[in-house]
């Protein structure tokens, strides 16, 4: 098997990707911020095949040429690393510029490395679905959609803007340099955690279990609730979100696209191994309202005390659909949302992020 590179290897998606690549016999060169940080890397070192075929190396996403030696000799490069911060004073300097620079730095290293045959870039559905058009049950989002930078700026959707601009810059760069690149655009990723730290997407499920929602007023809430048609109402709603959810009696009137982390990791591998893979792939099992998530949790765990009503009395935000056609053309099979949610909860329990209350019989 060939040698491949994975950036940001200690992250949620990347950890599963490394696991699957090792299982398939690849030698993996993985970049992490600090290879000597046992807390951040021990879960990678314990993977099957890691002792023989996993090499953890330090590389700086924002330093030009930092990845040259890492990708040298690799046939495939999986770029999953991306800056993520939940508070900032200057989004251009602290979020957007680093996202652009990091992506172009890794692609620059690939362009200077003859061994690299294909790059798999982890983008986001955030770079796809937010162009200002109403999203209703009749709408089917697909890979031809692009989020509108002007719309993002007007509404201060800085995270969405960073993902959109970074992917757009990547496509322009690879076209100019003749690099074979495939992009994966996942929705909200849930499922079991390999890493010891709590990732952002898992907090969506944890919030329903604990009654404490990790929602910060600003772009993070906007990212969550913009999957609907009436943007102005959503913004008004978002500013009271933290207060509304603190009691654990209500769930947000919002919706996400959801997908299992193993499906995302598999999509990356399939996109590398399938010679005909090209362009973008939206990976979304289902778009579901929080009420649907609560219903699934109630059926799976009837003894849990879960939110009983929506945080407002407005009609539920309308759903939309995301095409699975291209994802299935890769050979990807989706994990049902119900299974994804159950595995998320069990993982949160196993890692002590959530302890079910003792109920009297």
Rounded mean pLDDT, 291-296: 96
Residues 6+ apart with CB under 8 A from 235: 155, 222
Q: Flag whether pLDDT at 144 surpasses 70.
A: yes
Q: Flag whether pLDDT at 14 surpasses 60.
A: yes
Residue 45 has a CB neighbour count (10 Å cut-off) of 12
Residues 6+ apart with CB under 8 A from 250: 244, 307, 308, 309, 310, 311
Q: What is the pLDDT of the chain when averaged over all its residues?
A: 88
114 vs 199 pLDDT, higher one: 114
Residue 240, pLDDT score: 32
- Using alpha carbons, list the distances in angstroms from residue 8 to 12, 153, 246, 345, 348: 9, 27, 33, 25, 22
Q: Flag whether pLDDT at 316 surpasses 90.
A: no
Between CA 136 and CA 143 the distance in angstroms is 17
Between CA 96 and CA 161 the distance in angstroms is 7
Which domains can be identified in the chain, with CATH numbers? Answer: 3-350 (3.40.50.720)
> Quick one: angle between helices 261-273 and 12-23, nearest 10?
50
Q: For 324-345, what is each residue's pLDDT tens digit?
A: 999 999 999 999 999 999 999 9
DSSP for 98-156, please give it.
HHHHHHHHHHHHHHT-TT--EEEEE--GGGTS-SS----TT-EE-TT----HHHHHHTT
pTM over 0.85: yes
Taking phi over 0 as left and psi of -120 to 50 as alpha, with beta for the rest, 31 belongs to beta
Residues 6+ apart with CB under 8 A from 126: 147, 159, 160, 163, 164, 223
153 vs 228 pLDDT, higher one: 153
Q: Work out the pLDDT band at 242, boundaries 50, 70, 90.
A: very low
Residues 6+ apart with CB under 8 A from 184: 120, 121, 122, 123, 264, 267, 268, 271, 280, 281, 283
Q: Work out the pLDDT band at 357, boundaries 50, 70, 90.
A: low
The single residue listed with the structure tokens 């999986």 is 78
Q: For 41-81, what is each residue's pLDDT tens digit?
A: 999 999 999 999 999 999 988 899 999 999 999 999 999 98
Q: Work out the pLDDT band at 84, boundaries 50, 70, 90.
A: low
> Which tokens hold the place of 98?
């680093």
Least confident of 123-127, 240-244, 252-256: 240-244
C-alpha closest to that of 117 among 33, 52, 174: 174
pLDDT > 90 fraction of the chain, expressed in percent and rounded: 70
Least confident of 60-64, 112-116, 233-237: 233-237
Residue 224, pLDDT score: 37
Phi and psi at residue 311, to the nearest 5°: -70, -20
**Three-class SS state of 360:** coil
Least confident of 117-126, 130-139, 317-326: 130-139
């Amino acid at each position: 098997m060939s040698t491949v590179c994975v950036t940001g290897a200690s992250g949620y998606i990347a950890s599963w990707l490394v696991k699957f690549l090792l299982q398939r016999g690849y030698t993996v060169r993985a970049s992490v911020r600090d290879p000597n940080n046992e807390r951040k890397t021990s879960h990678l070192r314990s993977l099957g095949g890691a002792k023989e075929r996993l090499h953890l190396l330090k590389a700086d996403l924002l330093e030009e040429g930092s990845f040259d030696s890492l990708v040298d000799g690799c046939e495939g490069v999986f770029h999953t690393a991306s800056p993520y911060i939940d508070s900032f004073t200057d989004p251009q300097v602290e979020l957007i510029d680093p996202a652009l620079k990091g992506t172009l730095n890794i692609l620059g290293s690939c362009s200077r490395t003859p061994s690299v045959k294909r790059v798999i870039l982890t983008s986001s559905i955030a770079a796809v679905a937010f162009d200002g058009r109403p999203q209703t049950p009749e709408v089917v989002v697909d890979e031809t959609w692009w989020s509108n930078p002007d719309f993002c700026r007007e509404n201060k959707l800085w995270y969405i803007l960073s993902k959109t601009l970074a992917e757009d810059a990547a496509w322009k760069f690879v076209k100019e340099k003749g690099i074979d690149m495939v992009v994966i655009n996942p929705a909200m990723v849930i499922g079991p955690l390999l890493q010891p730290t709590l990732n952002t997407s898992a907090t969506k499920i944890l919030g329903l279990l604990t009654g404490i929602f990790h929602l910060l007023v600003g772009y993070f809430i906007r990212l969550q609730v913009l999957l609907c048609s009436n943007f102005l109402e959503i913004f008004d709603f978002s500013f009271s979100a933290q207060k509304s959810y603190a009691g654990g009696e209500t769930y947000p009137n919002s919706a996400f696209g959801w997908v299992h982390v193993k499906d995302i990791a598999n999509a990356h591998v399939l996109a590398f191994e399938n010679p005909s893979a090209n362009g973008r792939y939206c990976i979304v099992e289902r778009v579901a309202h929080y009420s649907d998530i609560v219903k699934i949790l109630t059926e799976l765990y009837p003894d849990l005390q879960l939110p009983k009503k929506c945080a407002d009395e407005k009609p539920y935000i309308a759903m939309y659909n995301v095409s699975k056609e291209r994802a299935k053309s890769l050979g990807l099979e989706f994990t049902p949302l119900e299974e994804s949610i159950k595995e998320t909860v069990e993982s949160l329990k196993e890692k002590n992020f959530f302890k079910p209350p003792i109920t009297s019989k």
